[in-house]
């Protein structure tokens, strides 16, 4: 006989479990914030940032199409004007039913605001009264997030200078740095020019001496930031070994050298996981700027080949194409150094979170990380985790019901320990502690 209150019990336990958020684009206030008057603050928060999230920019251009509002006219608007445009067309004139729209409403409601306002002014007034640092604590408490993992783009000149100027930048205990190195493994020739300018004796074809210097660069940033892990996003065409691709261009070979002879040896030596986020095709529609990217089916064989060739490394992997998810689960069954994580970006929708979580539980038990928020604006932690927790709890309920029907005694302790593993412990096991 199954428990008629099972669903309520599971949802309560999932809601009560603090989550360690494995991947976000949030920043601690000490990186500067969007209302500090500098215009360069990296910590984004508040209603205008929420409503001009790049997911919503893409959506508003489907409603007011570029023939009616040319891209350059939109980009000439102030952020306030862009937010008002988006609010009117996606939230007032139409039902805000998409995940990115509904997320804003969930966030406003959980902050104690009425999500039915016809203009943004009441929200602007409320946020204007909030203190950025205190708001971090409030959002973390509402979202029940115990640690926010950042994305620190060490090839971004502005962020790089912040780190060079402030050695304690990464010390906010609520946040964990991550060294993000896309150029190193996606465009080594370009990365090598930057490293040379920064005083590392490297070259575009990454010969022996340059390999040691490239390692020095990565070690310098690991020492400076003390990251939870090191990460890179990769295109759908990512292959390993590159030589498996007929007449692969030279840059693919040096990208592979950077990955296999610089990054992976350094990370194994430093005991750090490598997070590979695979399947993003950057800049499909450049006029959309940060909303320009699309997804593409990648090759999970590359993941399996890397896990087999580098058993001393640990790989956190998320893939952007829905078509890659089952193969990634199969690969994870074969390699204990492979930890699938999250329902990334275009997969971060309740319908897909449920189907991916169901498949992962069926193939991996509780040995995976079901979600990361990918929050870009601090306040998004509230909706991204509320919506994900509900989806995950729905599937767990179904699975516990199945266990009960098989005669297994499902107790609160059973559920609590599983949920802690899924939302916290699996992440922490693959992240380096401070
Ligand atoms: O590369 C990434 O980490 C992606 O998550 C991109 O930042 C993307 O723009 C995003 O924010 N997705 O949610
Ligand atoms: Zn991201």
> Within a domain: residue 408?
yes
**pLDDT at res. 375:** 99
Going by pLDDT thresholds of 50, 70 and 90, the confidence category of residue 231 is very high
For residue 151, give the ligand 1 atom closest to its CA: 3
Residue 202 is assigned to a structural domain of this protein:
no
**Over residues 348-368, mean pLDDT:** 99
**Which atom of ligand 1 lies at the shortest distance from residue 233's CA?**
1
Q: What is the pLDDT of residues 5-29, one digit of tens each?
A: 999 999 999 999 999 999 999 999 9
Instruction: Name the maximum alpha-carbon separation found in the chain.
Output: 69
Q: What is the pLDDT of residues 271-329, one digit of tens each?
A: 999 999 999 999 999 999 999 999 999 999 999 999 999 999 999 999 999 999 999 99
pLDDT at 384: 99
Q: Does the beta carbon of 374 lie inside 6 Å of ligand 1?
A: yes
In a domain, 120, yes or no: no
Whole-structure pTM over 0.95, yes or no? yes
Distance 85 CA to ligand 1 centre (A): 23
Q: Is 278 helix (H, G, I), strand (E, B) or coil?
A: strand
Q: Which residues pair with 148 in a beta bridge?
A: 21, 175
**Which tokens belong to 395?**
């599937």
Q: Give, as residue ranges, everything with CB less than 5 Å from ion ligand 2.
A: 374
Residue nearest to atom 9 of ligand 1 (CA): 290
Predicted pLDDT of residue 208: 83
* 318 domain residue, yes or no: yes
Q: How many independent structural domains does the chain possess?
A: 1
Quick check: is 119 in a domain?
A: no
Taking 70 as the threshold, does the pLDDT of residue 247 lie above it? no
- As a whole number of angstroms, the distance between CA 87 and CA 92 comes to 6
Domain membership flag for residue 346: yes
99 C-beta closer than 6 A to ligand 1: no
Average per-residue pLDDT in the chain? 97
Q: 392 C-alpha to center of ligand 2: Å?
A: 20
| Domain assignment of residue 301, yes or no | yes
Confirm or reject: Cβ of 376 under 6 Å from ligand 1: yes
Q: Which atom of ligand 1 is nearest to the CA of 23?
A: 3
* Residues of the chain by 3-state class (helix, strand, coil), percent to 5: 55, 10, 35
Q: Each residue of 154-189: b (16+ CB within 10 Å) or e?
A: bbeeebbebbeeeeebbebeebbbbbbbbbbbbbbe
Chain segment 209-221, per-residue pLDDT in tens: 999 999 999 999 9
Q: Which ligand is nearest to the CA of 22?
A: 2
> Residue 128 contacts by C-beta under 8 Å, 6 or more apart in sequence?
35
Averaged pLDDT, 345-363:
99
221, part of any domain: no
The whole-number pLDDT of residue 1 equals 47
Q: Which tens digits make up the pLDDT trace of 33-54?
A: 988 999 999 999 999 999 999 9
User: In 129-187, which ranges are continuous DSSP H helix?
Assistant: 132-143, 157-165, 182-186
Q: Confidence class of residue 251 from pLDDT cuts 50, 70 and 90?
A: confident
Q: Which domain holds residue 173?
A: 4-30+146-178+272-431
Pocket lining: 25 vs ligand 1, CB cutoff 6 Å: yes
> Which CATH number fits the domain that encloses residue 25?
3.20.20.140
Residue 245's pLDDT is: 63
Tell me the C-alpha distance between 119 and 121, whole Å. 6
């Amino acid at each position: 006989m199954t428990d008629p209150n099972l669903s309520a019990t599971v949802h309560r336990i999932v809601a009560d479990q603090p989550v360690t958020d494995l991947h976000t684009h949030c920043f601690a206030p000490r990186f500067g914030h969007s209302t500090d008057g500098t215009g360069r603050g990296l910590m984004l928060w508040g209603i205008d940032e929420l409503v001009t999230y790049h997911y919503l920019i893409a959506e508003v251009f489907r409603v007011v199409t570029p023939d009616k509002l040319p891209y350059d006219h939109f980009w000439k608007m102030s952020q306030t004007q862009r937010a008002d445009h988006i609010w009117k067309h996606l939230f007032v004139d139409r039902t805000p039913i998409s995940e990115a729209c509904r997320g804003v409403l969930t966030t406003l409601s959980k902050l104690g605001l009425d999500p039915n306002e016809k203009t943004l002014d009441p929200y602007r007034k409320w946020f204007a009264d909030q203190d950025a640092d205190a708001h971090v604590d409030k959002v973390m408490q509402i979202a029940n997030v115990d640690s926010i993992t950042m994305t620190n783009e060490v090839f971004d000149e502005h962020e790089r200078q912040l780190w060079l100027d402030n050695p304690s930048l990464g010390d906010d205990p609520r946040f964990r740095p991550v060294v993000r190195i896309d150029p190193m493994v996606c465009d080594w020739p370009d990365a090598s020019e930057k490293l040379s300018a920064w005083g590392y004796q490297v070259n575009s074809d990454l010969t022996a001496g340059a390999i040691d210097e490239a390692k020095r660069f990565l070690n310098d940033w690991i020492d400076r930031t003390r990251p939870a892990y090191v990460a890179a996003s990769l295109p759908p065409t990512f292959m390993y070994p590159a030589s498996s691709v007929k007449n692969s261009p030279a840059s693919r070979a040096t990208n592979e050298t950077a990955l296999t002879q610089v990054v992976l040896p350094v990370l194994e030596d430093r005991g750090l996981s490598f997070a590979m986020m695979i399947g993003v095709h950057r800049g499909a529609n450049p006029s959309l700027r940060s909303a320009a990217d699309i997804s593409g089916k990648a090759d999970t064989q590359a993941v399996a080949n890397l896990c087999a060739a580098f058993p001393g490394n640990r790989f956190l992997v998320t893939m952007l194409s829905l078509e890659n998810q089952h193969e990634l689960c199969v690969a994870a069954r074969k390699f204990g150094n492979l930890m699938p994580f999250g329902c990334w970006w275009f997969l971060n929708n309740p319908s897909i979170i449920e189907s991916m979580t169901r498949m992962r539980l069926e193939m991996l038990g509780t040995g995976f990380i079901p979600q990361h928020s990918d929050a870009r604006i601090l306040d998004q932690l509230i909706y991204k985790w509320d919506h994900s927790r509900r989806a995950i709890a729905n599937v767990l309920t179904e699975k516990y019901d199945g266990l009960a029907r098989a005669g297994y005694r499902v107790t609160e302790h059973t559920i609590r320990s599983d949920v802690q593993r899924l939302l916290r412990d699996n992440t922490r096991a693959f992240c380096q502690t401070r």
